[in-house]
Structure 1
């Protein structure tokens, strides 16, 4: 009886460990309500141009304990994930216009994810955002955010929490941009 309970526990632990080691792409980005409200407060239509990553920035893969998370942009890059997240936010607010004279582009300057903690996970994401109108720079600013979330010692719990935490970090970064009074003024 005790042996079968120990054996069942060992099998369960092995299955949990294997589940934690499966690949983890960044989750589909979900627009935030606060970002929607900020954009609807008076932002003019904006087109989004290509985003890239600074040299040396992890743009394709971030470590997650013994596994990794890959970028979920259409090309597998985190910079494209950020670009497409901005497009989703603008589309959600009715402010995305591919033909607009206002153009937003950017460069990923920081991209870190730490799921190694036993009780807390952490991510840092930063980007330089540039807004132009007909080729003239109206806004050029670096934004960076840190985000923490509850994590777990068990990888099968910590890894999904980290992927969701990363997405929330990107949402916070975009919110910081949309809440910047200089950005708001440049988009009017």
Structure 2
């Protein structure tokens, strides 16, 4: 099957697991960059999880002020730098993080949205917002990976309005458990696409 056809499947396949398509402008950008199908499948899985995560958290925590569209864009593009650093598709590395931000900026993406490519692996510091944490969380829970050092700051930011942190932790734990339960299907979806 030609690479363009495989990429199209990764972008548009609506079969099991039923993952939401990537936002149109992101899908167009990935096609224009000839992104590896495995990367596109990964971005779809993380984007789908981000939709579920943000929707569930805003329902359970109505006082949560979050830029939903920013989180979804960030989830859909967080690893875009792997277009330039393809070895990081199957191995470790962080060169894709600043490269992704720079690539998005070069494509005319606003700095406030391009930042997610660089911040999805950074959870500390005063410049990290709830949106950054949620993109990072979606990038972990899509494969049912739990990272306390990431979850703790999310819980702390949600524990407002008189809610105890332990109570918030239980709510977040429920959400992450429910979403994480679909990890095997998402991993199989991603694994079905070639790295190159």
TM-score (norm 1): 0.31
Greater fraction strand: 1
Which has the larger helix fraction?
2
Q: Highest Rg: 1 or 2?
A: 1
Relative to the length of structure 2, the TM-score reads 0.31
